[in-house]
Structure 1
């Protein structure tokens, strides 16, 4: 047997690992305070900046064309084109960085927004400086910074933007207006302010909404990660208790088995048919207890000599059904086999206990009818247990697999489905539950055959 001290040490190490994961407090791609982790969230936000930059390039090209050709305003097309090419190159570099799986940290987003501010400052410098109504576009960069970056990085970008606007107040290339255009300068400025406001409002509404959606998705992933860490912590503690109890029960059960074996050979006891029959029943009960202890230890990774063995889906189901029927001698379990061509798998005690749990729950709610359906869907084994009981309450379906969620009203109820969901999840499968329209419920375990086959 595994030494009790080793078992406790293993549990402590597992709990420490779970604590470290929970202490990290965030799944991949979720920003910590002052940082942005390198996964889906960071990449999605950088892609948003890339899209915004494409819109900025297209908008600047249109604005320059309208000003130059439509309004007759002479602009330095060469330097302005250089800035546009720089934005295009920055976008290509960003897309290449994402495609190569580069780390998208808060620093990367800060540099991207900083370069956007520098590019906007350069274009405004070449087209009238602070007299250009499009200076309000700085607000878009600051809004995105406030959403994407930490407060410290946002303050840095605010300082840079303020300094840029201050430079544009003092130094810029004046607009060269067509002859007589000075008279319409104020009207053009008002029209430019209106266009800049519409662009600002539209882009802020669209992109901030999308960034906020990304952040909400990250928060949901964090909540799911914390829930899973809590469940794994609960399972470790339950496994520690169950394994410890199994180890402690092993010795007295072995002693009982030896004593009963001696009694079966004692003439004064075997002379009575009734006593002999009771001894046989006691021996069977002890054997059943030893089998349960073995199952617990196998599930905990501390086998007592019985190794998993090769079998097939149909043989596994047949043995499982036969054993369950022996445990419920007065009950007839209905079996429906729709699996198709049989396939070799490794017999798994944990999986057997999982199906037993679901069958036991169905029997508790529907003593007169329980059906086990075995089928195949693609590369997955599906085990569906149907009953004719009252079904699941809506709140139970919403919290399926969470500990202590049960309609039975028993202390500790709900642990069966909790363990079912977590064991199946470890095997790469899923557990689904639904109520039937004409009464009863169906619990379906779906397992990839790749996790069971050799």
Structure 2
């Protein structure tokens, strides 16, 4: 996030060339057609006097530039920021030249200065857009005092009163600033959301692959179990035959024994892997505490104490000692992990993970003893690529919280962020840091009650006993 200009909040890949030459050429053809029709209409159907030859010369230069660009480059070429800037700057100067010949700022078509600057704001960097805007303002100002006048019938010059001329200049500059700023901001927000959703999908895909790896390991253990059992059996029989037929060849006996031992070792390794990857009910669902500990495990060794507090909501009768079991999905694991990472990053000494439940809700609160969320960004938490002046050294906060919010929302959760030191909070002083609260409807993530983990799904075949 150290890129210049528009890249202040965008990753480097967002700044690859993205302006298609064909689009700019088509827009220029449209502008050329409009200019030609306007000049012809004014000269034939009005009494205004124009420098027709010079006007068509300026339009002809634009046509030649378009034909030259199409001759040199394919229309599918994507222009870099600098190339697109020069392309739009040429259009701006061509428009200024045409307006110079047709009354300058007295010509109502001076409003078209908005087009190149607004186009730059939607596709180019902030530096290019500001430069183009400054050139446009300078050209507009010059055209207010230096231009060939529009004459009516060859004698009467059409000139706006100074007050109207200043008002027209102010309106064009104000509209240019507003439309360019709006277009730039809207494009920036769209890019932020697009890149943040891409990061979210990448994180979810990685978590899903890790989640599915257990099944792959179990399948490999099952498929290789039978060949290894056969190798062990054949090695045992071969060792017996060598001992009887060649009692003096102890080296052969040692080799056959080594083959059997290594086959047994491979079998034991695959069995342990199969137990780790077996698709039992524990992979699809687990107690709430187990899910929270799994989400926090990568951050448990970073020098911050993580405390767990699980209990039913106040006023809820506990019928048994079991904690609720929830579905173990990649969205829940990765979303909670991002929230816990954010808490650990800014905690001083401790992080508390509270789990509460009732018959219809499951609530998880992640609290740290750090400085809390900056008040000026508290209402924007969950937006992608959020940065804070107080936390400028930490660039991942906005994207991490956005990924967490997006993933957890897929599971039906509602997220809320607050500070423990907010007025009205009745919390211990150490819990005065940031609070992230996740609330699920219990029916969305609750696992079916089976009275236990239940029977494992069939992974190993009927020859399991032979292994």
Does the pair score TM above 0.5? no
Q: TM-score, length-normalised on structure 2?
A: 0.38
Q: TM-score, length-normalised on structure 1?
A: 0.39
